[in-house]
Structure 1
């Protein structure tokens, strides 16, 4: 992967003023291309701490590409060209001193399809803790319980922690994956359409979980479901053809968008 930085930081984006907010992530002049084909173009935005920020837009607009860039999932792709900066608490995540493993602990990611490991419920949640090492069994038990409770799953599984994670329903598996991510205490949780493969009841549980988790960490959500974005997010960014079209408080963007392009997308007058 080719990475270059701009000669100076990009100016603040014209879509929303976060000067009075504490931002967790800052994206400055971000462009990304696959094999010469542009996927993102000059994106600049700030993600506020302990809030839910949603990325919306048509298929292929760059939402998931942007999400994956936030914890360097493009690193192993030699055909990716990248420019701009992504700052986590003021530090460039591509700086030489940044360890990718530590970045991905701090910035966890949950994908569209649940991906529990082929092991017990307990061992799934404890997996990252064991990799860190040096933890006593009692302490690990406490963190596993805390993570499952935070993911609204503890009371459903506390009597069968040694059962296979694959014995859980799809919605439970997704909450287990969230618990596994929470166990290593990330600062940011990236969610790539986490409920799109789930039934309506499981979807509501995931949405409630998202709302509750923002007291503990910062969440960034990619969703095709605009009603979901309206229900759970505090801020929404509308992307189209790799560009940031409009970004603002969710209530304002959905009820009084600044731009006709945004209104046309929200009202279904464009695909």
Structure 2
């Protein structure tokens, strides 16, 4: 039986008076990749940001319902948001390395969480860059500014930075939308590799990508979860007409 790592229960969200998510109840299984698909503006990224409370940073956002991480509601008052974001990391749509060296980008999180020993930091940086399939390309130029890397390398650096603090869940918001096909393939291979150790939730506009990399897929429309199922089942045998229309290209 697959174990739930996270789960949302009757999750609703408003931006001011405008409701953006409606009663989303959905499991996220441990060490699996869950893809969120649907047309632009359907609530995928908003939902993703609920999973590590990034929406807290937006004024006039109101959230009702529960988001459970190992059966604990992350919106409870006693939850430390910094600790939560260490456990639930995020990789954004556009690569966003910090204006510092490759080494310092990866060491940034561990330093914030108290790692000071140089040997320990060296080990973490090497481990994370290897995990992100970037070590062989940058090991001789770790002091180089991160902006000197290509777009695909920058995105893998951001993944290395996210995993350097050993999160349990990795959220990815369209991580390949700004990348060329070769870089996209590398990131997809990396996601499949990382899912051996991490629970991954990825927002993607690319349905082929969802079918290639994910174990489960959730189809969102107008802020509602229309269908959630194993990826093969959802693409080959959708239960809802809206899902069938979307994946066959009749709208969206």
**Which bin holds the TM-score, normalised by the shorter protein?**
over 0.9
CA distance in 2: counterparts of 1:126 and 1:81, whole angstroms: 34
CA distance in 1: counterparts of 2:177 and 2:18, whole angstroms: 27
CA distance in 2: counterparts of 1:60 and 1:131, whole angstroms: 34
Q: Is the aligned partner of 1:188 residue 2:169? A: yes
State the partner residue of 1:256: 237
CA distance in 2: counterparts of 1:77 and 1:197, whole angstroms: 24
Q: Is the 8 A contact 1:53 1:234 kept in 2?
A: yes
State the partner residue of 1:146: 127
| Per-residue CA distance 1:6-59 (angstroms, 9 max, x = gap) | xxxxxxxxxxxxxx3200001000000111111000000000000000000011
| Per-residue CA distance 1:174-195 (angstroms, 9 max, x = gap) | 0000000100000000000000
The SS at the match of 1:74 is helix
State the partner residue of 1:4: none
Q: How many residues align?
A: 252
Give the TM-score of the pair, scaled to structure 1.
Answer: 0.92
Q: Which of 103, 116, 120 lines up with 1:122 in the alignment?
A: 103
| Per-residue CA distance 1:46-78 (angstroms, 9 max, x = gap) | 000000000000111000000001110111333
Unaligned runs of 5+ in 2: none
CA distance in 2: counterparts of 1:45 and 1:128, whole angstroms: 30
State the partner residue of 1:169: 150
State the partner residue of 1:232: 213
State the partner residue of 1:9: none
CA distance in 2: counterparts of 1:194 and 1:78, whole angstroms: 25
Q: Is the 8 A contact 1:36 1:81 kept in 2?
A: no
CA distance in 2: counterparts of 1:134 and 1:259, whole angstroms: 50
State the partner residue of 1:41: 22
User: 1:135 Cα shift?
Assistant: 3.5
Q: Is the 8 A contact 2:115 2:121 kept in 1?
A: no
State the partner residue of 2:87: 106
Bigger shift: 77-86 or 158-167?
A: 77-86
Give the TM-score of the pair, scaled to structure 2.
Answer: 0.99
| Root mean square deviation of aligned Cα | 0.8
State the partner residue of 1:26: 7
User: 1:205 Cα shift?
Assistant: 0.3
| Per-residue CA distance 1:82-118 (angstroms, 9 max, x = gap) | 1000000011101121110010010000100000001
User: 1:134 Cα shift?
Assistant: 4.1
User: 1:132 Cα shift?
Assistant: 1.4
State the partner residue of 1:54: 35
User: 1:133 Cα shift?
Assistant: 1.6
Unaligned runs of 5+ in 1: 1-19
The SS at the match of 2:54 is coil
